Amino acid sequence: MTKSVRVRFAPSPTGYFHLGSARSALYNWLFARHEGGRFILRIEDTDRTRYDPRALPDLLDSMRWLGLCWDEGPEVGGEYGPYYQSDRVHLYQEYARQLVAEGRAYRCYCSPERLAKLREEQRRAGLTPGYDRHCRYLSAREIADYEAQGIVPVIRLAAPTEGTTEFDDLLRGHIVVNNNQLDDLVLLKSDGFPTYHLANVVDDHLMAITHILRGEEWLSSVPKHVLLYDAFGWEMPVQVHLPNILDPSGKGKLSKRKKKAPGEREMLTYIHEFREAGYLPEAMVNFLALVGWSYDGTREYFTRSELVRLFDLSSVSKSPAAFSYEKLDHMNATYIRNLGYNDLAGRLLQTLFRQGIEADFFTVLKLVPLIRERIQTLNEAAKWVDFVFAAQIDYDTEMLIPRKMDRADALKALRAAREALAEAEPFDEEHIEGRLRALSDALGLKASALLGIIRVATTGKTVAPPLFGTLSILGRETTLARIEAAIARLE
């Protein structure tokens, strides 16, 4: 490469930050870091009819959560700013007028009603809807008449009507399009705002973008952009159109619209949903990198620095890849198991707070060894530990009575357990286990039956973290109080 790499991620703030957009941003970021280049964030916010005020905060927060920090862009600045297209409208107007002056574009006065009627007639005739270039060859007098009526025109590109337009895509090779398939696209709307095509090309040139990495749905726009680059006499950046992400079935593109059949799991598609569901950003980055890219076809786990070092565009697939929630769950669980106790405790504490559980760091830290192997997401911790931080627990009294035992048997076992635990000294895991196993022998009960009764009495659950460690964390006072409450229930 003869130029320093400059790539951009250029989302439109029309909705929440989607998985597909996040994967595009990640690949741009990895490529820039791998090549020692610059990663630019540009906000394409000229479509005011679809603008969503919630989208930009969600985008910035989600990108920071994923660790995709930008070198230039909003809140960072840079010498190629401003980085909001709504602040650059005067530039697009200037370049559109330049093309008109050079005969590369023209003013179109056609009303929306005429265009709608034209499209309907073309559809009825079995033709591909498109502009008929009515205003392309207007005389000076006709233009003056339209102007006298106060009609504000749009500006259209004067696309060639013969020959071909050709370009290269790094993943898809050489692509040729017949010019008779291309329309005279609108560059500048009557309200003075640019269309995506004009703003995109002008900004990529003025910001010295060297490579464009984006989803393959934009591939059909490239011939139009080639014409614009040619009209301006500019060099077009290297084109790389990334494969789509398919839904888990592999049959269709992963949609932003939620579809869930009865009994199916909730389909998350926005980055903030994964964050709220308790996924780790490290796991999300690792997983997203593999949805369309592979290092050697077998290795799956990479640190962020390894991804930067190993990422190569030649290893990006041109075939779509299915998104697997099960694979993400497994990867997230592995990342959780590899976190240090203090790190995991801090993350769990924040998660528990968000779920309305008033936990404390040191208690959560004690619980980490008991639950780390049992959870796939941070959110799952609550169902394992909520009873620890509850003032009272509630459960069905019948849960205290194991199979093949009656109420009197369960009551006898709990009374004996209360005495044994009251005498455990110190009240730690080792001594608790010794006391209760000796008690099960003395009562002639299977250890599983005795411990099951105590588990329900102290946690309100039939499935909970390992009992001896749990009781040690609860402490003698809380443990005995809960056993006494269970005895009262049975009595």
Alpha helices of 271-375 — where are they, by DSSP H?
271-276, 281-289, 304-310, 325-338, 341-354, 361-371
Alpha helices of 35-139 — where are they, by DSSP H?
55-66, 89-101, 112-124
* Distance in angstroms between the alpha carbons of the first and the last residue of the chain: 82
CA 350, 353, 357, 360 dihedral sign is: positive
Question: From the CB of residue 136, how many other CB atoms can be counted at a distance below 10 Å?
Answer: 16
The residues, any chain, with a CB within 8 Å of residue 120's CB and separated by 6 or more, are: none
Both tokens assigned to 447: 């250890």
393 phi/psi in degrees, rounded to 5: -120, 150
Note if 256 is an active site residue: yes
Contact 431, 483 (CB under 8 A): no
Task: Please give the C-alpha separations between residue 101 and each of 232, 329, 453, in angstroms, as whole numbers.
Answer: 12, 58, 87
DSSP state letters, 301-331: ---HHHHHHH--GGGB-SS-EE--HHHHHHH
Q: H/E element holding 468?
A: helix 467-474
Contact 30, 305 (CB under 8 A): no
Alpha helices of 194-323 — where are they, by DSSP H?
196-206, 222-232, 271-276, 281-289, 304-310
> What is the C-alpha separation between 199 and 196, in angstroms, rounded?
5
Contact 7, 210 (CB under 8 A): yes
**What is the β-pairing status of strands 164-169 and 321-322?**
unpaired
> What is the C-alpha separation between 460 and 474, in angstroms, rounded?
13
Give the active site residue among 256, 259, 327, 383: 256
Residue 93, SS3 per DSSP:
helix
Beta-sheet strand order (sheet of 173-178) = 38-41, 6-9, 211-215, 238-242, 164-169, 173-178
Active site amino acids: 256
